[in-house]
Structure 1
Amino acid sequence: MNTFWGCETERLTELSTVFDARAIRLRTLIQQVALCTRITDWCGPDAEEHRRRTMELVEFIIDLIERLRELGERLGDEAAEQDLCSQAEGSPARSGVGDPLGVRAAPPWDLDDVDPLPHLSGPPADDPGPVIGGPVMAEDPQELLRRLRSLPDGEDFALDPEILAEAERQRELLLGEVPVVGIAQTLMSGHEAVGDLYDRAEAALVDNGYGAFTPLVSLARVPHHLSEALLGEKSVLGQVTSAVDRGLANVAQTGGEVLSEIGEGDAGGAVRAVERGGFRNAGMSADILTATAGPAIADTASDLIGTGADLAEPLSPGTAETLREAEESVREVGEGWEQGQEALTDPEFYYDLRRTFAPMPWDPQA
């Protein structure tokens, strides 16, 4: 009786290719998770703990993926050994273990034919989905983020909130005496104060059981909504003012970090602090250059539509519901515009990009 010991080597080689393709895909996905965790605008002890636990899990999963890839290589080696043992004497050796150059044979298929894992970057090609910013922009402004390999560890990049608040106070004092700028600054502060007053009035009506009168407050807000595009937080003036505040805070924080590192005798840390300050300053300049009234206009339009919904609610609930849906749609357009702009001008992203692909001697991982 003849007994066959072995395998169908072509199938085993194909399985090895699948292992390798899956390992590559899984590694890409988990590194995208690590990157998204680092770039999320979230500060505080909970954020740091979440990032720490996520990175530990990422390292563990990458180790498992590497083992999966090694098992795939072993399958290919087993197939090559089987071919070597099964070949007739005198016949030329196949690529693999029997190859005198030690070169593995190319996979018998194209990796593009492998059934891919679900793609996280957006809808399939036959479903274009919503386009952000019109036909001249990419469907997802953060597509470049998903192509990064990994993100090295580093110091905290964000500005200290206390330093930022102090910078805002210093800016108000410094610019308060400048004729035109001082007036604009005062108007912005007054606009914010009026908005707070309206908020308190609405809250007081609701708390005291007079919620039916809130549409009157909404109607009184109309001039305030109209001035939002000129004096509000998201207006061009508001964006430039915010960038100036961050610039002043950056100078103070960078100087303190450099002096602290020098005091501890860490020259590399001082260089890193200077570099972080340079990237933050570049981000501030980019914000000023790309400041646009688009988000403020969208907010103003959505607020006015919301006022119409408040006024229509007692008379026609159906009309009010339609107006609220329109309000939400317009607001989402403005928020998408704003988020896309922030993603493209985020200095921390470019700082991490440099450290990932162009490590320097002062980097901790170099």
Structure 2
Amino acid sequence: MTESPFADIRRLVAAMPEADEAALRAIAAREATLTKPAGALGRMEELVAWLGAWQGTDKPTLDRPLVCVFAGSHGVTKRGVSAFPDAVNRQMLDNFAAGGGAINQICAAYGLGFKVFDLAVDLPTGDICEGPALDERGTVATMAFGMESIAAGTDCLGIGEMGIGNTTIAAAIYAALFGGDPAHWVGRGTGVDADGHRRKVAAVETALAHHAGHLDDPLEVLRRLGGREVAAMAGAILAARLQRVPVVLDGYVSTAAAAILHALDPRALEHCLAGHVSAEGAHAEVLERLGLTPLLALNMRLGEGSGAAMAIGLLKGALACHRDMATFDQAGVSGKEA
């Protein structure tokens, strides 16, 4: 029997490394010597420990942080699920290349690397209401493309996306993975009106009905209901785990890629941080289901890695405190009395 193309992905998931416990202990020991009351920096202390545990060192770095934005297009947009036309996909890629996007400014402000991956934005995936978005080989090939996004090296990866219609795709994925009323998972996306929202709900309901009986396997959910950017983000997240690179997720759509991996193995997101909670749809509930506590809550719903990039900026501050603060002995400051 010919092996399914998905078999390689399952083997990689099974081979995921665990956190470095020795690094965690060493970071905690240094934290206890710094000139502040224990726990005074709150979650910032936990972030440094998380960073070191997944980099596998008690001296974590953020010297080469990278935000990757994956761009795709979707056949379902012909159903009027977005306030913007498909032409915006190519126009936004040009805008990123010219340095005109919000994400360009955030990355420049925090000294973050930035890459955009064009996943055939001029060739939409299949309309999920009529058939699968991708075939198995195309799904695996796109995941492999996403895995290559960190080939040049990075010490922290921010995951983002851009694609007209992809909040509809994300809602369909969540409905397939978590169940319940499909309308619960459908938000306003780029700002559709009431009629547009009804069309989004109808599209998700139609897609779920069309693919009923084939959505028990998370990888089938991905290929049938996902898009190229979702598959590539899932690949990038998995590759980062295998290479011990901590990951910061962006919003509603990037979390859908993470949810696919979590459905394959609940351990799959232990190296991931939720950069923020989006204003889109049921993102807060999704994060709770995945066991991810968002770092920021800024009412953002832009996508394009913007929330992830903001969160990496905060990570840089947390790491600077841990790395460069004086210890009690160095500063001649009295510690807590026994």
TM-score band by shorter chain is under 0.3
- TM-score with structure 1 setting the length: 0.24
Q: Which has the higher helix share?
A: 1
Q: Which has the higher contact order (CA 8 A, sep 6+)?
A: 2
Q: Which has the higher strand share?
A: 2
- TM-score with structure 2 setting the length: 0.25
Greater C-alpha radius of gyration: 1
